[in-house]
Amino acid sequence: MSRPEFNRAGPSHRLERVAEAVRHALADILQRGEIADPALDGQAITVPTVRMSSDLKHATVAVMPLGGRNAEATIAALRAQAKILRALVAHRVNLKFAPELRFELDSSFAARDAIDALLKSPRVARDLRHDDDEGER
């Protein structure tokens, strides 16, 4: 019997569900301050996305400290506490294996700011006005 083909264009619903469960667990752990690390004490950290490997053994966690302050120190602290965070996630998310957590700085905020700056630039504003003028004819 042949195996069915799966669409490899994006993550499966199961990967998305597990990633979201891990994201919620990490956000809760960080919000409650369950990690004893001076670099994380009193630090509000956003966890916008988690990407799971196809075997669910690795989770890449995108994080951003509030206001982007102390970003590198926060990432370093999270990486140092990864094993403890993994154990805490394992207690909250029911999986056969707890995923290894890999932390990275979320780049979506910087990308959004760059797009906003581009849209507000005089050159783009001029082009947008020109397109509006042509639409009225």
Note down the domain range covering 117: 107-137
- Position 6 scores a pLDDT of 45
The DSSP symbol for 66 reads G
User: Do 44 and 25 share a structural domain?
Assistant: yes
User: Do 98 and 115 share a structural domain?
Assistant: no
Q: Is the pTM of this model over 0.85?
A: no
Q: State the CATH number of the domain containing residue 43.
A: 3.30.300.20
The span from the CA of 26 to the CA of 24, in Å, is 6
User: Do 96 and 116 share a structural domain?
Assistant: no
User: Do 14 and 3 share a structural domain?
Assistant: yes
Q: Is the pLDDT of residue 70 over 80?
A: yes
Burial grade of 94 (CB within 10 A; 0-12, 13-18, 19 or more): exposed
Domain count for the chain, please give it. 2
User: Do 73 and 36 share a structural domain?
Assistant: yes
Q: Is the pLDDT of residue 14 over 80?
A: yes
User: Do 132 and 72 share a structural domain?
Assistant: no
